[in-house]
Structure formats: C-alpha cells, structure tokens
Amino acid sequence: MKNIKIKFALLFLTIILFGIHTTAYATLDITADVDVPSSCNATDTDGVIHNYPQGNSYLAICVLETAIENDSISNVQLSNQFPSLGLFVTAINGIVADPNSQYWAIYQNGDFANSGVTSLSVIAGDIIMFQLHDFSDNNLGDQIILNIHSLVSDEIENNSGSGGSISLPIFNVSNAITYLASIQDSDGSFDGSSLYTDWASIALASGNISDTVKTNILNYMSIYNTVSSILTDNERHSMALLALGENPYSFNGVDYITPIVNSFDGVQFGDINLINDDIFALIPLSKAGYTIDDNIITKDIYFIISKQKPDGSFEESVDMTAATIQALKPFGKINGVFETIVKASNYFTSEQKNNGSWNNSVFSTSWAMQAMNILGGYWTKSSSTPADYLATQQVSDGAVLPISETTQNRIWATSYAIPAVLGKSWDTILHPVSKPVVVPSPEIFPVIENKNIPETETIPASIDINIQKQKSAQKILIEKPLIEYTVPVPNPIVLSATVEKSRIRIPMAVTILVTVFVGGILLFHFIKRLI
C-alpha cells in the first residue's frame, strides 16, 4: 500500500512539473493587420506618457500602440531605462524578456531594424516583427507580426466627422511591376531604348523580376552590346547590369567599366563642366571593386564636394542632390563626406512640399526617397510622406502618371518610383563584382641554348696561343616557367657575361706567364755571363 501511494505521489508530481514546463514555454505566435496613425501616446513602466511623433511620422511605436488598442496584443511593457535610446519593449502578452539574457528584437520587412521602436519609420506594406531573442541572437520562438495595412493621417481623421478615419491611398508595387512587364517589347527592350530599358531593369531588379522578363532584357542587351561614346550612358548601363547580377567588366565580352575609369583626367571624370558624370561614375565603381584606397575615387569625391552650393544642394537640383547623397554615402569614411551629406539633408527638409513631394514631381520625389532610404531617415511635411504623394500619382493600370502622358515618361516615372517605395537605394539594388585580376605579360629574356655553350677544345701547337676557337652563342626567347625548378637554373645573362669575359682573361694570364718565364731565362744567362 505504501508503494502505491509513493507511485501516485510521483505521478502527481510529474503531471505538475510537466504542466509548469509546458506553460512556461508556450510559444507566442500572433499576426495582425494594423492601420497606423501618424501620432500616438505610449506609457512606459514608470507610468510616464510619451507623445509621438517627435519630428517624425508613422513610427513603429504607433504600430505597436495601435495593435494594443485593437486588442491584437496585450500586457506590453515599455522601458525608458536608457532615455537617450528611447523606449524599448520588455514584455509582450505577459512574456517578459529576462534583462540578464534576453531582449525583444525588432525586424522590418525581414531585416533586423536599424533603429529602435520609437524612431523606426514605417510605410504602408511594411511588416514589423517583434521576436524574443537571447543575447547570442538565438530565436527563442515567441513572436508577433504586424502587417501595416495603411497609414492614417491625423488631419484626415480629424476632418472625417462621425464617419470614422479615411485611409490614404497606398502605392501598389505589385501593380507597378506588372505594368512594366506588360509593356516590354518583343525584343526585350522598353520602348526600343537603352535609356528606358536600363532604368526599367534597375526597378524590376529591386522587386520581384520574373525569369522571362529578365531573360528578354539580357537578350536585348546582348544584341546591342557596345560601349557608348557618351560617358553617362556607360555609367547607367553598368548600373543596370549590376542590378541584374551581370558583370559589367565582361558582359558577353564587352567591358563597360574601363571606359569610365579611362575618362578620369586626374581630378574628375568626363566633362570638367559637369558633375552628373562624376556622381554616376562613383555609383557603379563602388560596386566594381573600387574603394577609398583608389585615388580616382578620393579625388573625384573631393571634386564633387567642392561643387556643393551654400544651401546644401548640388546644381540647385533636388534630383542631383539626391543622386549625390547616394553616391557619397558608401564612402562615408572620407573626410568631408559626412558634413556634405548633413548639409544636403537639410536642403531636402527645406524644399519638401506640404503634400510630401519635392517639386510636385514623381521623378524628384522618387530620387529623394532613395536618398532618404540610404540614410535611414524619413522626411515628412504636414503629416504627408513622399510615399503618400507617389500613391496619389499611381493610376489604375499600375503606372505612375496618367494615361495621357507619353509611354516613355510613364515607363521612366514608374521605374523611378518602384525602388523608392520599396525602401531601396541604388547601393542595395546593385550586386558587387570584383576588379579583374591583372595577369602580368610573360617575362621574356635571352637564354643560351645548352647545345651551343662554348666547348673546351685542345689547342694544337701550330695555332697561336692567343686565339681560341669559340662557337657563337645562339640566343633564343623563352617564356618564364610558371613553376620554378627545384634545381636552380643559371642566370643566362650572367652566364653570357662570363663567357664574354673569358675571351679576354685567359690570353692575358698566359701572356704574363710566358713573359715571366722568358725574362727569367734571360736574367739567368745574363748573370752567368757576368760570373
């Protein structure tokens, strides 16, 4: 009876321990859609209320707060232990990260976020994920995924009356890509032009380009595969090839990078009176193996920096300023680059329109967004974002700009907008390649053929002692062997010189010996006569 009681006790204890184990390690896995407001309030673990945005709009903190309001998640704790870093998540749905070994990691669109929850900018279509990690960055299994369905402007929300909030239009990247694919010509080009084909290639490569569309593009590029006399054509085409994963040093036997390098005059690339060719030289070269250790890079960067206007712009142009930021950012370690980019960013802030655009232009706004993307910033004006503006310019067939516009402009504008809305810069779209390894030409040098090395012969008594028979040394040209022999090979130049010297040294020695011998005999006879 006692044994039975012990067994029941052990069984009961096992059930309790199993229950504790499974409860402690229950996996949190929640997915929810969120319409994000441009402002929100968050309360930290000390009960202090924080208002957002603080100079920015549409932040990840508001994504989190909206999910709480919608009851998608609960029991969220936000710590302000390090005020300079902003609030950070310590618990979700009651699952608390152990401060000694765990933390809640933030991901944006599958990549580790580059800032904290209170400064991470978001756009419609983004996916924000919170995942419990240990300090070795191992995923512990608990996570929540919040899909950003739309962005809701406070102004629209406040003016909507009792009808509730009105969501802003969202730029549909999938429709834009479908539009471009639908107007590709049968030869693989876009409107039969390398200009539009290059820009469309970069846009499609930044999204989900189909194998068929890519193959058709490469077929077209292979047919019209020649270096242009215009430098910027070669720069743009190199960018397109890099975006497609091709090597511009050797695309079907044609090198597009070397003509760019050869245009450098010791100070800058191409036309001394232009800077666009200098800006667009840096972009492909930064992906073609060139670094701050190359003089052509540092000198060109100093040339570009010298052209910045007092207002922070380049050429007083939003487009050129945006392109310059993208070109300079990968070379941020060079003296003066950081300060130049800061001034250029201030210029963007001053030039942005209330509708979120620059110049009320799809082209300028798209490039400004790409500059914003590479800097990890987010510029808004009157609660309107650049993405909001681009969304208002997209029409029913997926293109940017109305059907009344020319096909060329619609291709061009749509190609610019796609990577901008996707949050990508040229630096992230282009695939890197290495500089070709320069193989030295085979070293050519004279060598004496073994069979023609002077032979040692017996000199007949009838031949004058100062004359020695010598076969002429025949010289031939050979390539230096790729693998050195184990047995040292005599240096042919030294060997040849030794042979030449021997023709002088041997007769002189014999002459001196004969002179001494004859002189000794004469001296002997002279002394004998005296005696």
Q: Which residues pair with 89 in a beta bridge?
A: 78
- Residue 180 has phi, psi (to 5 degrees) of -60, -45
Q: What is the pLDDT of residue 97?
A: 94
The predicted structure's pLDDT at residue 84: 55
Q: What is the pLDDT of residue 433?
A: 98
The mean pLDDT of 144-157, rounded to a whole number, is 74
pLDDT digits (tens, 9 = 90+) for 458-476: 444 443 434 344 433 333 3
pLDDT of residue 418: 97
Give 102-124 pLDDT, tens digit per residue. 999 999 988 888 678 887 888 88
Whole-number Å distance between alpha carbons of 449 and 446: 10
Quick one: pLDDT band at residue 20, thresholds 50, 70, 90?
very low
Q: What is the pLDDT of residues 403-418, one digit of tens each?
A: 999 999 999 999 999 9
Cα–Cα distance, 199 to 50 (Å, whole number)? 44
**Separation between Cα atoms, residue 392 and residue 357, nearest integer Å:** 11
Q: Is the pLDDT of residue 162 over 50?
A: no
Query: Residue 333: which residues within 8 A CB-CB, separation 6 or more?
Result: 292
Q: How far apart are CA 71 and CA 73, in angstroms?
A: 5
Q: If pLDDT is split at 50, 70 and 90, which confidence band does 132 have? A: very high
Check whether 40 has a pLDDT greater than 60: yes
- Predicted confidence band at 171 (pLDDT cuts at 50, 70, 90)? very high
pLDDT of residue 67: 94
8-state DSSP, 239 = H
Q: Can you give the pLDDT at residue 85?
A: 65
- Which of 168-177, 349-358, 471-480 shows the lowest per-residue confidence on average (mean pLDDT)? 471-480
**DSSP assigned state of 411:** H
Mean pLDDT of 76-92: 86
Of 229, 226, 280, which Cα lies nearest the Cα of 251?
Answer: 226
Lowest mean pLDDT among 61-65, 288-292, 313-317, 322-326: 61-65
Q: What confidence tier does 498 reach under pLDDT thresholds 50, 70, 90?
A: very low
pLDDT band at 442 (very low <50, low <70, confident <90, very high): low
**Predicted pLDDT at 138:** 93
Q: What percent of the chain stands above pLDDT 90? A: 58
What CATH architecture is 31-159? Beta Complex (2.170)
pLDDT of 492 higher than 90: no
Report whether CATH 1.10.760.10 matches the domain 173-429.
no
Contact 59, 120 (CB under 8 A): yes
The reported pLDDT for the residue numbered 383 is 80
In this prediction, residue 462 carries a pLDDT of: 40
283, amino acid identity: I
The pLDDT confidence band at residue 483, using thresholds 50, 70 and 90, is: very low
d(CA 407, CA 399) in angstroms, rounded, equals: 10
pLDDT tens by residue, 512-524: 555 656 556 665 5
In 3-state terms, what secondary structure has residue 347? helix
Phi and psi, residue 467, nearest 5°: -110, 125
What pLDDT band is residue 180 in, cutting at 50, 70 and 90? very high
Q: Which of 134-143, 244-253, 295-304 has the lowest mean pLDDT?
A: 134-143
CB burial string 362-380: b at 16+ within 10 A, e below: bbbbbbbbbbbbbbeebbb
Give me the pLDDT at residue 400, please.
97
pLDDT of 446 = 55
What pLDDT does residue 244 have? 98
Cite the DSSP H helix spans in 224-315: 231-243, 257-262, 276-285, 295-305
The proportion of the chain whose per-residue pLDDT surpasses 70, expressed as a percent, equals: 73
Q: What are the structure tokens assigned to 125, written together?
A: 């279509």
> Among 80-94, 354-368, 468-482, which stretch is predicted with the lowest mean pLDDT?
468-482
pLDDT exceeds cutoff 70 at 156? no
Q: Give domain limits for the chain.
A: 31-159, 173-429
- Residue written as token pair 């006879």: 525
The answer to which of 176-185, 201-210, 369-378 has the lowest mean pLDDT is 369-378
pLDDT of residue 518: 57
Strands (DSSP E) along 153-275, which ranges?
none
pLDDT at position 4 is 54
**The predicted structure's pLDDT at residue 123:** 82
Angle (nearest 5°) at CA 297 between 294 and 301: 145
DSSP state of 434: P
Say whether pLDDT at 131 is over 90.
Answer: yes
pLDDT at 440: 66
pLDDT (mean) for 16-31: 59
Mean of pLDDT over the chain:
81
Which range is least confidently modeled, 115-124, 299-308, 358-367? 115-124
Quick one: average pLDDT of 300-328?
Answer: 98
Per-residue pLDDT of 259-296, as tens digits, reads 999 999 999 999 999 999 999 999 999 999 999 999 99
Contact present, 462 and 412 (Cβ < 8 Å): no
Average pLDDT value for residue range 346-371: 95
